[in-house]
Amino acid sequence: MMFNLILFGPPGSGKGTQSENLISRYGLKHLSTGDLLRSEIARQTPLGLEAKNFMDKGQLVPDEVVIGMISSALDQNPQSKGFLFDGFPRTSAQAEALDKLLELKHTSISVMLALDVSEEELVKRLLKRGETSGRSDDTNEQVIRARITEYHNKTAAVADYYRKFDKVRMVKGEGTIDDIFNSLCQEIDKRMVHQIS
Ligand code: ADP
């Protein structure tokens, strides 16, 4: 039986950092739409060139583009113990599409862990990351604000979608990386044991 986790939260909430730790502890396959899109841009594929126009403005890339990417990533990893979705789903349409894709594989989302971080802290972290990440969308405060606005307008509703199925757990996203990691692990361990027994 697969264990499929959504790590949720606004830009800068620490999804990337925590994902790296979580996949190595639990052996899940990491699917980050942000990373997949940046790799398409680096390879200058038509998909990447299209996506870049949106990303540079802090806007979401069209649903069909990211859903297609996730669909092929799922098909490429049939033997996975489970998936960690990072930065996906970001709209209600993406959430519905993901549920359908998982259903085809006779599996579903086990839990959504939502990192809770104040807006002030988010902007601070993203500007700091911009100093070293080489990500153009992190260096401009206006683009950062646009991403946070997109989050409130389109992405926050994704938590409501999973709340209907009682699948959302909030986790404090401020404090040390280790403390946050431990809180996430606690939530996962409760459910993995449950699923195995
Ligand atoms: P962050 O969460 O720090 O903003 P990501 O690396 O997850 O960064 O995403 C960077 C950009 O890629 C987003 O601002 C958006 O333009 C695009 N993107 C990533 N995932 C999605 C998605 N699921 N749907 C639409 N656009 C996406």
Report the separation in Å between the CA atom of 48 and the middle of ligand 1, taken as the mean of its atom positions.
Answer: 13
In the annotation, is 145 catalytic?
no
Q: Are 174 and 117 in contact (CB under 8 A)?
A: yes
Yes or no: say if 81 and 28 are a contact pair by the CB < 8 Å rule: yes
Known catalytic residue at 129: yes
- Residues 121-149: tens digit of each pLDDT: 999 999 999 999 999 999 999 999 999 99
Mean pLDDT value across the chain? 96
pLDDT tens across 72-98, in order?
Answer: 999 999 999 999 999 999 999 999 999
d(CA 195, ligand 1 centre) in Å: 31
Report percent pLDDT > 70 for the chain: 97
| pLDDT score of 166 more than 70 | yes
Ligand 1 neighbourhood includes 90 CB (under 6 angstroms): yes
Q: Which of 7, 17, 37 to mutate to test the pocket of ligand 1 (most atoms within 8 A of CB)?
A: 37
pLDDT at 1: 87
Report how far ligand 1's centroid is from the alpha carbon of 166 (Å).
25
Whether 52 is catalytic is no
The pLDDT tens digits of the residues spanning 33-61 come to 999 999 999 999 999 999 999 999 999 99
- Written as one string, the DSSP assignment of the chain is ----EEEE-STTSSHHHHHHHHHHHH-PEEEEHHHHHHHHHHTT-HHHHHHHHHHTTTPPPPHHHHHHHHHHHHHH-TT-S-EEEES---SHHHHHHHHHHHHHTT----EEEEEE--HHHHHHHHHHHHHHH--GGGT-HHHHHHHHHHIIIIIHHHHHHHHTTT-EEEEE--S-HHHHHHHHHHHHHHHHHHHH-
Model confidence band, residue 192 (pLDDT cutoffs 50, 70, 90): confident
